[in-house]
Chains A and B, each alone.
Chain A
Amino acid sequence: MILLKDIVKVYPMGTRELVVLKGINLEVESGTMVAIMGASGSGKSTLLNILGLLDIPTSGTYYLEGKEVSHLSRQDLALVRGQKVGFIFQQFNLLPHLSALANVELGMQYSVGVDRKLALEALSKVGLADRVNHRPRELSGGEQQRVAIARALAKSPPFILADEPTGNLDSKSGKEIISILVDLHKERNVSLIMITHDPGVAQYCQRIVRIMDGQIVGDEKL
């Protein structure tokens, strides 16, 4: 379970300060699939980064599985991030010089340890069993994003965070990615929090949280 209380994030902009998040209160039950929607600059990416422990809030408290994680040291943040969170980025963020398999193994290396069997399982789960030795540039965008999903799920994290996972894909590949994510969520009961601009994609989620100007302006269960 995720619980955010009065999360504020301020970025210094020269002499002025830019308040990106203005007191976010959010609770996400384990095993739910949540879409976060909002315009560019609304603060949704910052929120996702804080949820994924890539960034720390300026003030407020963040409880992850009942544990306060908003004031952890950098070392402990990395540890928790590795064990608890799988990321899927809009830019895929695969290492270009590594094969699909090595990229998936990289996702396990810093948390649960490399296990080739699990890595291959994850790749076949996303339908890339015959593509394991391909480098990212030899794969289509959709395939690259599937490698990234395999990388996130190989370590079986309780949370998967996705920042516009279909944003760089054509609609057909986008649909495939979404159906993989939906299957994954159903099968493993993993919590999935996803930023998206696409109302069609958001329809697959159980809940849609809308953000505007750093504040939650809408929260609907589907």
Chain B
Amino acid sequence: MIKKWLKLKIFGSGDDSALIKRNTTVQKWLQPLHTAWVGVATHKLRTFLTILGVVIGVAAVISLMSVGRGTQANIVSSVESLGSNLLFISPGSTSSGGVRGAMGSATTLTVKDAEVISEYGSYVTAVAPTNRAMLQVIAGSSNMRANITGVTTDYQQVLNLQMAEGDFFTEYQYQSGMRVAVLGATARTTLFGEDEAIGQQLRLGNIVVDVIGVLQSKGASMMGNTDDAVFIPLTTLRQTVSAQRTSTGEYTVNQIIVSLSDKDYIQNATAEITSLIQYTHNISEGEDNDFSITSQEDLIATITEATSSMTILLGAIAAISLLVGGIGVMNIMLVSVIERTREIGIRKALGAQERDIWTQFLIEAGILTLAGGIIGIIVGWVVSVLIQEVGNTTTLVSADIIILAISVSIAIGVFFGFYPAWQASRLNPIDALRSE
């Protein structure tokens, strides 16, 4: 009714061009956008601080989460690169008088077990018993402490190791316990630098071995770092490190790696190998096993769990940054609305509706948080690339994290931009005008 009266009056007066203009759709949408833009452009300090708050929060979430996710993806992929059809048999924890020793501390697993598995296992394609010792390795003037790993010829096939130089040792060399060694990529560089490695000699404890091959770099993995290791035949390792034997005279090993013809057989093979070893170890039904079998998938699950908690930790730190940024945005928004109460009063005196006022502040907050969000994504991305380059780790920027960070910051910005403005828009224009 009021609108009709106003229109009639003004239309009737003949000067109606301006009123029509107010009612066109373009001006209805563009005017608030323009007003808000002017508000953003002219309050430079507020604009800067608000955008900064959002940028810090969003960039922190994106870069920290990219480190967590990247590390997780990196470890999982390096485990998977071993092949997903592997079973790892370790000597079980020794149980004596209720005290459990550390996993792998027992010396119950033997070369004999490996032979039994190889002979009777139905799904088994290769079996690789390994034994490890830390020894000082000396090559000319260089030396390093290295993980000396005694392996069989199958080890290369089981772990899918590629040669960079020379060859892996042969079955003949293994059987006869020849003093030969294959180096990991890092061990090669440490010991020989740029010089030729093949044909050089190494001193391992009390024996001297000839270098016959160098492995391609594979990075750290579940089996420890093959890059740092020196591989020699298991038979040769016994000549330098006093070999441990069980009471029945079998040589013990640290680990047996079994590769299966297909990963679908993991469960069946695990059951079969368990009963095989129970038989050779004389373990009857109901007794504790003195060994444990882990599959690749178990490992991945364990690692994922471990890295998840790291990712959660990083996520918590990131969430705190986002919150701190959000509180900053909230403060600035609250203060700026209080500061601008007089402006709100002036606008209302000029005929602004409450809706006009809060729309303006809402769009202002939207522009600020959106700009902050976009800059935050870029900064977060750049930081995560820098971390990858400088920190030499893998980072992974993921879409869900970007969306989460952006929505949280926009929600904070818009809510705290809107709410105080909405309250101020309801003020009596007189009171708003009086505020300084």
Contacts and interface: CB of A to CB of B under 8 A. Distances in A.
Nearest to A56: B428
A146 interface: no
Nearest to A111: B351
A221 interface: no
Contacts of B19: 112-113
Contacts of A79: 2-3, 6, 351, 353
A72 B31 contact: no
A113 B18 contact: yes
Given A49-B430, A76-B2, A79-B3, A111 B353 contact: no
A118 B353 CA distance: 22
B100 interface: no
Contacts of B35: 109
Given A81-B351, A111-B350, A55 B42 contact: no
Interface string A112-140: 11110010000000000000000000000
Contact of A83 (B27, B345, B351, B354): B351
Contact of B2 (A52, A72, A110): A72
Contacts of A65: 9
Interface residues of B, number: 39
- Find the residue from B23, B42, B354 having the highest chain A CB count within 10 A: B42
A57 B10 CA distance: 26
Given A72-B2, A79-B2, A112 B350 contact: no
A75 interface: yes
A102 interface: yes
B236 to A, nearest CB: 83
A55 B21 contact: no
A108 B354 CA distance: 16
Contact of A95 (B9, B343, B430): B343
B348 A78 contact: yes
A54 B17 CA distance: 27
Interface string B349-387: 111111010000000000000000000000000000000
A112 B22 contact: yes
Contacts of A95: 343, 346
A97 B197 CA distance: 75
B121 interface: no
B349 A112 contact: no
Interface of A: 49, 52, 54-55, 65, 67, 72, 74-76, 78-84, 87, 89, 93-95, 97-98, 102, 106-115, 118, 151, 155-156
Given A83-B10, A98-B38, A109-B35, 12 more contacts: A54-B348, A87-B350, A93-B433, A97-B42, A106-B347, A106-B350, A110-B352, A111-B350, A112-B22, A113-B19, A113-B20, A113-B31
30 contacts: A49-B430, A54-B348, A54-B430, A54-B433, A55-B428, A72-B2, A75-B353, A78-B351, A79-B6, A79-B351, A80-B2, A83-B10, A97-B42, A97-B43, A106-B347, A108-B18, A109-B35, A109-B350, A110-B352, A110-B353, A110-B356, A111-B22, A112-B18, A113-B20, A113-B21, A113-B24, A113-B27, A115-B21, A151-B350, A156-B15
